[in-house]
Amino acid sequence: MELYDAMRTTPSCRYFTDEPVDPAVLHRIFDNARFASSGGNRQGWRTVVVTDPARKAALAALHRKQWDPYVVHAREGVVGYNEAGRMAAGDAAQRRLDRTDDFSRMLAEVPVLLVCCVELATLAVTDKELDRQSIVGGGSLYTFIQNVLLGCRNEGLGSALTTLLCAEEPAVAELLGIPEGFAVGALVAVGHPVPEKQYTRLTRKPVEEIVFLNGWGEPFTG
Ligand SMILES: Cc1cc2nc3c(=O)[nH]c(=O)nc-3n(C[C@H](O)[C@H](O)[C@H](O)COP(=O)(O)O)c2cc1C
C-alpha cells in the first residue's frame, strides 16, 4: 500500500470479525515497526501480544471499569455542548461514542490485544521540570505504535489505539507479569475489520489550521 494512502486511511477500527490474525503477519508488522525513532535510539518499547481468551477477558473487564463511567460523562458532554446549536442523538459525536461503546463491550472478542509498554529508565523526559503535564516521555513509545497501526493497515488489518487501560496499570502488570520499571502506554486492538462497519474517510483539520510559518498563527500554506 502506498504510504500516503495508508496515512490517510487508518481509522480506529471498532468492529472486528472473529477471523484469527496470522502470527506471521503480526511478526512482519513488528519487524517493520521497530525501525521507529526513540530518544537516544534506546528502543524501550516492549509489547505483550495477548491472544489467550481468559487474559483478553480480564483486560476487557479492566478497560470497561474505566470506559463505563467515562462514556456517561462523555455523553453528557455531547448533549451539553449542543445546547446552542444542538447536536441530535445520531449525529457524528454521538455515533462515535456509540461505536466506541460497542467496541468496549466486544473487546474480549477482538482476536489480538497488544499491551504496549515502555521501560521508564530509557526515557529522557526533557520537559519534566516545566510547570505543566509532561508529554515528551510518551514520544519514545507512540512512534513505534503509530508504525504498528500503519503496518496493520498495510496488511489489511484493522487496529485501534486506546489508553484508558493505562489507568489500571497495576492490575495489568499483575495479570501479564510486566516487571517493575515498565509503564503501560496503550492497548492496541488488532483484527480483521468488518467491511460494512469500516470507514476510511477520516475527518481531520486542514494543514493551515495546525501548521504555522515562522511563528505561531501564520498559516503554513505550502
Ligand atoms: C493517545 C490516544 C489515546 C486514545 N485513547 C483511546 C481510548 O482510550 N479509547 C478509545 O476507544 N479510543 C482511543 N483513542 C482513539 C481515538 O478516539 C481516535 O483516534 C479518534 O477518535 C479518531 O478516530 P478515527 O481515526 O477513527 O477518525 C486514542 C487515540 C490516541 C492517539
- Report the pLDDT value the prediction gives residue 187, as an integer from 0 to 100: 98
Residues spanned by the domain of 188: 3-210
The rounded Å distance from CA 214 to ligand 1 centre is: 30
- Report the pLDDT value the prediction gives residue 84, as an integer from 0 to 100: 43
**By mean pLDDT, which of 23-27, 32-36, 134-138, 198-202 is the weakest?**
198-202
- Report the pLDDT value the prediction gives residue 95, as an integer from 0 to 100: 81
**Cβ of 164 less than 6 Å from ligand 1:** yes
Atom of ligand 1 nearest to the CA of 142: 1
Q: Are 13 and 193 in contact (CB under 8 A)?
A: yes
**pLDDT top residue among 78 and 13:** 13
Q: Which residue, among 188, 165, 160, has the nearest Cα to 175 in the 3D structure?
A: 165
Residue 183 within any structural domain of the chain: yes
- Report the pLDDT value the prediction gives residue 92, as an integer from 0 to 100: 76
Residue 34 within any structural domain of the chain: yes
Give residue-wise pLDDT tens across range 190-209: 999 999 888 778 999 999 99
- Report the pLDDT value the prediction gives residue 73, as an integer from 0 to 100: 77
**Cβ of 165 less than 6 Å from ligand 1:** no
Question: Residue 80 — pLDDT band, cuts 50, 70, 90?
Answer: very low
Q: Extract the C-alpha cell encoding 62.
A: 479492566
Residue 90 has pLDDT above 70, yes or no: no
DSSP state for residue 129 in the 8-state scheme = T
Closest C-alpha to ligand 1, atom 10 = 162
Residue 180 within any structural domain of the chain: yes
Alpha-carbon distance of 47 to 28, in angstroms, equals: 14
Reduced to 3 DSSP states, what percent helix, strand and coil does the chain have, rounded to the nearest 5?
45, 15, 35
The rounded Å distance from CA 7 to ligand 1 centre is: 15
pTM value is 0.93
**Cβ of 74 less than 6 Å from ligand 1:** no
Closest C-alpha to ligand 1, atom 25 = 11
Give residue-wise pLDDT tens across range 139-166: 999 999 999 999 999 999 999 999 999 9
Atom of ligand 1 nearest to the CA of 203: 27
Atom of ligand 1 nearest to the CA of 138: 1
Tally of domains in the chain: 1
Average pLDDT, integer, range 105-127:
97
Residue 221 within any structural domain of the chain: no
Closest C-alpha to ligand 1, atom 12 = 162
Q: Extract the C-alpha cell encoding 95.
A: 455515533
Share the mean pLDDT of the chain: 92
Average pLDDT, integer, range 13-27:
97
Residue 203 within any structural domain of the chain: yes
CATH of the domain at 137: 3.40.109.10
Residue 219 within any structural domain of the chain: no
Residue 18 within any structural domain of the chain: yes
- Report the pLDDT value the prediction gives residue 77, as an integer from 0 to 100: 66
The rounded Å distance from CA 142 to ligand 1 centre is: 13
- Report the pLDDT value the prediction gives residue 78, as an integer from 0 to 100: 59
- Report the pLDDT value the prediction gives residue 85, as an integer from 0 to 100: 41
- Report the pLDDT value the prediction gives residue 132, as an integer from 0 to 100: 96
Average pLDDT, integer, range 171-185:
98
Q: Are 188 and 5 in contact (CB under 8 A)?
A: no
Residue 42 within any structural domain of the chain: yes
**Cβ of 79 less than 6 Å from ligand 1:** no
**Cβ of 10 less than 6 Å from ligand 1:** no
